[in-house]
Amino acid sequence: MKKEDKTNVMRVLESKKISYESHSYEPDATMTGVQIAGILNEDPAKVFKTLVTQGKSGAYYVFVVPVEAELDLKKAAKASGEKAVSMIKQKDLLPLTGYVHGGCSPIGMKKPFPTFVHETASSYEKIFVSAGKVGYQIGLSPDDLILVTGCRLADIV
């Protein structure tokens, strides 16, 4: 991988001496998470998407769920201790996190937000999340994801 192909996520992991594997693919605007799992030749249950929400209190929360699953907003609210949470508008994603839609990673956001990962992540040796840029994914251990983000496991789908 060329130096300019390194993403901020990769630099964060390297600075913390966390091992990961990187994958890149030719992105297509219509591509689904399940299709990306196919490109990676991985079970979609091991490939996770990053979703950003706002609670009734105004606080922001990050939820990381398998690409084939849907975030349950009621369970997400319960996990975060909010009365309710809702997805943020797509136009608010970049200014808030530093990431664009389709390239949002739970690692290396502009500011740290409380982050929750679906509990099934702990049943795998390695999971995949966005590397912070459309067309890039990283594989790492769930324990390392917890270490670098301070996230908690929760039933959120």
Task: Convert the pLDDT of each residue in 72-126 to its tens digit.
Answer: 999 999 999 999 999 999 999 999 999 999 999 999 999 999 999 999 999 999 9
- In the Cβ-directed half-sphere of 96, how many Cα atoms lie within 13 Å? 21
Q: Where are the beta strands (DSSP E) in the chain?
A: 21-24, 48-55, 60-66, 85-87, 115-118, 127-130, 136-140, 152-154
| 3-state SS class at 26 | coil
Cα–Cα dist 121/119, whole Å? 5
Residue range 21-78, pLDDT digits in tens: 999 999 887 889 999 999 999 999 999 999 999 999 999 999 999 999 999 999 999 9
The pLDDT, as a whole number, for residue 2 is 47
Q: Report CA-CA distances (Å) from 4 to 22, 80, 94, 97, 148.
A: 14, 36, 20, 21, 23
| Domains, the chain, ordered by start | 3-154 (3.90.960.10)
| 3-state SS class at 108 | coil
The pLDDT, as a whole number, for residue 122 is 97
Q: Is the pLDDT of residue 1 over 60?
A: no
